[in-house]
Chains A and B, each alone.
Chain A
Amino acid sequence: GNSVTQMEGPVTLSEEAFLTINCTYTATGYPSLFWYVQYPGEGLQLLLKATKADDKGSNKGFEATYRKETTSFHLEKGSVQVSDSAVYFCALSHGGRRALTFGSGTRLQVQP
């Protein structure tokens, strides 16, 4: 079946540091890939997505590239801010009925 594996957190960084959160997936064919973000006390919001191999999704300074050869969709940001502190979820959508499969989430803490 489909699965998503994320690096365990928490990830603690200083403001303006470079961020990478690793995500790899298992699925047949070509799923769509997503990063969702959950701020404290809130529901999940879509951060970015990519729907085919080599696509790059980007939003709010975050980027992720759909790498079919390594089955990965790593999230990156060049300079994090305190306001980026949140839990980040990698997810995939695959199959005709298109349910989402989520990773376990990675908590990011950015210190001033």
Chain B
Amino acid sequence: DADVTQTPRNRITKTGKRIMLECSQTKGHDRMYWYRQDPGLGLRLIYYSFDVKDINKGEISDGYSVSRQAQAKFSLSLESAIPNQTALYFCATSDTRLAGAHNEQFFGPGTRLTVL
């Protein structure tokens, strides 16, 4: 079984709809991240969480919100989706309690979101 899972893997929705993307991990890591990937732009950080009560905005948080329901679960919501939020979304985890980890991150398989 995969250590970092994302649901759904693909989603098509319409402008104005509320969408939730979910991420679960079995690695026992404390930190979780949401990125979006756009062609030619690499990965950009949306939100990150260092534990259940520590949630932080990344470089492109506008239009998104997150919830860390438990150490193993981190959800990303688009309250009112718009077409320029069409992208590939990745969840990642890391465990900075590991000596020498230097923030190595482990990625889920991604969710492809299309907003019409």
Interface stretch (choices B11-19, B60-68, B79-87, B99-107): B99-107
Closest to A8 in B: B40
Q: A51-B102, A93-B102, A97-B50 are in contact. Are A44 and B107 (CB under 8 A)?
A: yes
Which one, B35, B42, B100, contacts A51 given CB within 8 A? B100
Chain B residues near A41 (CB-CB < 8 A): 109
Chain B residues near A34 (CB-CB < 8 A): 104
Chain B residues near A104 (CB-CB < 8 A): 40-42
Closest to A1 in B: B59
Please determine whether B104 and A44 come into contact, CB atoms closer than 8 angstroms: no
Docked pose: A103 CA to B92 CA in angstroms: 17
Please determine whether B102 and A49 come into contact, CB atoms closer than 8 angstroms: yes
Residue A25 interfacial (CB < 8 Å):
no
Docked pose: A100 CA to B102 CA in angstroms: 10
- Size of B's binding interface in residues, CB under 8 A: 27
Please determine whether A100 and B42 come into contact, CB atoms closer than 8 angstroms: no
Please determine whether A98 and B90 come into contact, CB atoms closer than 8 angstroms: no
Please determine whether B102 and A89 come into contact, CB atoms closer than 8 angstroms: no
Please determine whether A32 and B107 come into contact, CB atoms closer than 8 angstroms: no
Closest to B102 in A: A32
CB distance from B21 to the nearest CB of A (A): 14
Q: A97-B50, A100-B45 are in contact. Are A43 and B104 (CB under 8 A)?
A: no
Residue A102 interfacial (CB < 8 Å):
yes
CB distance from A49 to the nearest CB of B (A): 7
CB distance from B100 to the nearest CB of A (A): 7
What 0/1 readout, one digit per residue, does chain B (35-64) give for beta carbons within 8 Å of chain A? 100001111110010100000101000000
Chain B residues near A97 (CB-CB < 8 A): 50, 56
A residues with CB within 8 A of B: 4, 32, 34, 36, 41-46, 49, 51, 89, 93, 97-100, 102-105
Known: A44-B107, A49-B102, A102-B42. 7 other contacts (CB 8 A): A43-B110, A89-B43, A98-B94, A98-B102, A99-B58, A99-B103, A104-B40
